[in-house]
């Protein structure tokens, strides 16, 4: 049995994996889908205003501690690529597999803001205009989305290099939104890095809802590969 910890991207909570979780559980695995600080339906303005990337990485590590999880497949979507990288760097060898699902793969000193493209920087700036500390969700999309802590988009990640010792590191590139994706250059970089396995999915960014079976199959296929 594998253990999956699933971390949602910007503006989203654990519900973003609602169609993938039952597929993994049906295959006999333990699954934890998280909601990060400031993104919960009961979180107050103070939680949103004070949460940053360190807060979100600590959320993940604290969940590992609380549930005594080891040998974890840690999955991050979109912004959460920053979170899972920081958490894996701090998790003292408890992560056996890291999956960046159409997600940022930061190097030390980078941030979501420095890593994304001009389109999403404009989205973030416009979304933060009302409060200066929270970013309103882009128009359209799931109504459950919540304002996202701006500081988590701006804070630079600090990595010791421990994340590079995670045994399996994978990047999933969703090719169905190439007019807006910030990940095309990242895909090229990681394909040239022998420490990474790169997968392509012919979906738009929200692959978990558009093609949950394909996402689950990719995650389960990695479990089988690890066992072989």
The predicted-structure confidence for 34-55, as pLDDT tens digits, reads as follows 999 999 999 999 999 999 999 9
| pLDDT(73) > 60 | yes
- For the segment 103-115, the average pLDDT, to the nearest whole number, is 98
In the structure, what pLDDT confidence band is assigned to residue 196 with cuts at 50, 70 and 90? very high
Q: How many domains does the chain have?
A: 1
Residue-range definition of the domain harbouring residue 211: 3-227
For residue 224, name the pLDDT band (cuts at 50, 70, 90).
Answer: low
Provide the pLDDT for residue 181: 98
Mean pLDDT of 160-173: 98
pLDDT at 228: 47
What order do you get walking across the sheet with 30-33 strand by strand? 30-33, 3-7, 72-77, 95-101, 168-174, 197-201
Q: How many CA atoms lie within 13 A of 122 on its CB side?
A: 4
Indicate which CATH number applies to the domain containing 83.
3.40.50.1820
- Average model confidence (pLDDT) for the chain? 96
Radius of gyration of the chain (CA): 16
Residue whose C-alpha is closest to residue 217's, from 9, 19, 8, 15:
19
- Give residue 222's pLDDT band: very low, low, confident or very high (50, 70, 90): confident
Residues 48-51: contacts with CB under 8 Å, at least 24 apart: 48/133, 48/134, 48/147, 48/148, 48/149, 49/131, 49/133, 49/134, 49/149, 50/149, 50/151, 51/149, 51/151, 51/152
């Amino acid at each position: 049995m594998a253990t999956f910890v699933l971390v949602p991207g910007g503006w989203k909570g654990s519900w973003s994996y609602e169609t993938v979780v039952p597929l993994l559980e049906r295959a006999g695995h333990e699954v934890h889908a998280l909601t990060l600080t400031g993104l919960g339906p009961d979180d107050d303005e103070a939680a949103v205003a004070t949460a940053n990337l360190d807060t979100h990485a600590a959320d993940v590590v604290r969940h590992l501690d609380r549930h005594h999880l080891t040998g974890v497949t840690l999955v991050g979507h979109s912004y959460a690529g920053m979170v899972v990288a920081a958490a894996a760097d701090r998790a003292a060898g408890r992560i056996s597999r890291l999956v960046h699902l159409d997600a940022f793969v930061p190097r030390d000193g980078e941030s979501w803001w420095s890593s994304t493209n001009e389109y999403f920087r404009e989205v973030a700036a416009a979304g933060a205009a009302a409060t200066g500390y929270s970013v309103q969700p882009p128009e359209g999309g799931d109504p459950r989305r919540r304002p996202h802590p701006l500081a988590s988009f701006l804070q630079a990640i600090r990595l010791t290099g421990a994340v590079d010792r995670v045994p399996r590191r994978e990047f999933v590139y969703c090719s169905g939104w190439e007019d807006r994706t910030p990940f095309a250059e990242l895909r090229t970089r990681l394909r040239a890095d022998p420490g990474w396995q790169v997968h392509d999915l012919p979906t738009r960014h929200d692959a978990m809802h558009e093609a949950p079976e394909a996402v689950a199959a990719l995650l389960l296929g990695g479990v089988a590969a690890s066992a072989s």
